[in-house]
């Protein structure tokens, strides 16, 4: 998916996926809060596997940053721990998560992928991948005026040259400032229904039955 397509894909995230997962959460409070996972990945620019490894003990709320363990990097992954800044929305989403396990988002990458892929199939969304959220998130940083070093402090890119492909993006302000679903992902309205006894390993089966009931 090219960059322009990624920008267009944000409409899918907004109008289809977020609405789908919020409605699912209302029907099945015990289901994985995919609306929070998606929103966090968008605002934080975190990769899927990085999100699942974030620990409460590695969160520095005072300085709005989190330690990303084993960050993907050519030739160096294990032990490549990097402090990454958290935009305000990303930090607020984290603060809305219940502290039920040592991980902030106690879900498996397989479960997240299954939920995302099945929802896209159900909603008729083609050629869209979870990693596109990272591209959308980085694009947003440049739209709101971040410099390359500032954007890198959020995304964790070691090589600034990797971010040069985003420099053509014009500073247009934050299109997510009045995002329809911002109250749902930064408040406690939806999270209050989260079942603290919920076992994330059961999510794939639960979400599958959920999606079948939608069809």
Q: Residue 215 falls within a domain, yes or no?
A: no
Q: What is the CA radius of gyration of the chain?
A: 17
Asked whether the CA dihedral 51, 56, 62, 68 is positive or negative, the reply is negative
For residue 155, being part of any structural domain is answered with: yes
Q: Is 165 a catalytic residue?
A: no
CATH code where residue 32 lies: 1.10.443.10
Would you say 133 and 42 are in contact if contact means Cβ atoms under 8 Å apart? yes
206 belongs to a structural domain: yes
Active site residue 166: yes
> Of the residues 53, 65, 135, 157, which is catalytic?
157
Question: What is the residue-level pLDDT of the chain in tens, covering all 215 positions?
Answer: 555 555 565 666 667 899 999 999 999 999 999 999 999 999 999 999 999 999 999 999 999 999 999 888 766 656 789 999 999 999 999 999 999 999 999 999 999 999 999 999 999 888 888 998 999 999 999 999 999 999 999 999 987 778 888 888 888 899 888 888 899 998 743 333 333 333 333 333 343 334 333 43
DSSP 97: S
pLDDT at site 80: 83
- Position 118 scores a pLDDT of 95
Range of the domain at 173: 3-210
Within 8 A by CB and 6+ apart from 5, the residues are: 127
- Specify the pLDDT at position 160: 78
Please check whether residue 31 is in contact with residue 191, taking contact to mean a CB–CB distance below 8 angstroms.
no
Q: Establish whether 146 is a catalytic residue.
A: no
Domain assignment present for 54: yes
Residue 170 lies in a domain: yes
Q: How many domains does the chain have?
A: 1
Please indicate whether residue 3 is annotated as part of the active site: no
Among residues 3, 72, 131, 175, the one annotated as catalytic is: 131
Q: What is the pTM of this model?
A: 0.81
State yes or no: is 189 an active-site residue.
no
Residue 197 lies in a domain: yes
Domain membership flag for residue 94:
yes
Give rounded-to-5 percent helix, strand, coil for the chain. Answer: 55, 5, 40
Question: Mind spelling out the 3-state secondary structure of 125-193?
Answer: CCCCCCCHHHHHHHHHHHHCCCCHHHHHHHHCCCCHHHHHHHCCCCCCCCCCCCCCCHHHHHCCCCHHH
Active site (annotated) includes residue 20: no
Residue 78 lies in a domain: yes
Catalytic residue among 20, 25, 35, 47: 47
């Amino acid at each position: 998916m090219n960059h322009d397509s990624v920008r267009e894909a944000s409409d899918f995230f907004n109008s289809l996926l977020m609405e789908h997962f919020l409605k699912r959460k209302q029907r099945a409070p015990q289901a994985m809060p995919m609306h929070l996972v998606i929103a966090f990945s968008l605002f934080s620019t975190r990769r899927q596997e990085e999100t699942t490894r974030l620990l409460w003990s590695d969160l520095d709320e005072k300085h709005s940053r989190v330690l990303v363990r084993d960050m993907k990097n050519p030739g160096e992954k294990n032990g490549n721990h990097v402090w990454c800044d958290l935009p305000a929305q990303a930090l607020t989403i984290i603060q809305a998560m219940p502290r039920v396990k040592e991980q902030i988002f106690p879900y498996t990458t397989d479960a997240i992928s299954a939920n995302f892929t099945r929802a896209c199939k159900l909603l008729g969304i083609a050629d869209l991948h979870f990693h596109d959220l990272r591209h959308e998130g980085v694009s947003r940083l440049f739209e709101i005026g971040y410099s390359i070093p500032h954007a890198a402090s959020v995304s964790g890119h070691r090589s600034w040259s990797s971010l040069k492909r985003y420099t053509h993006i014009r500073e247009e302000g934050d299109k997510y400032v009045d995002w329809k679903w911002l109250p749902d992902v930064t408040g406690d309205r939806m999270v209050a229904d989260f079942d603290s006894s919920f076992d994330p390993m059961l999510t794939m089966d639960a979400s599958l039955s959920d999606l079948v009931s939608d069809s």
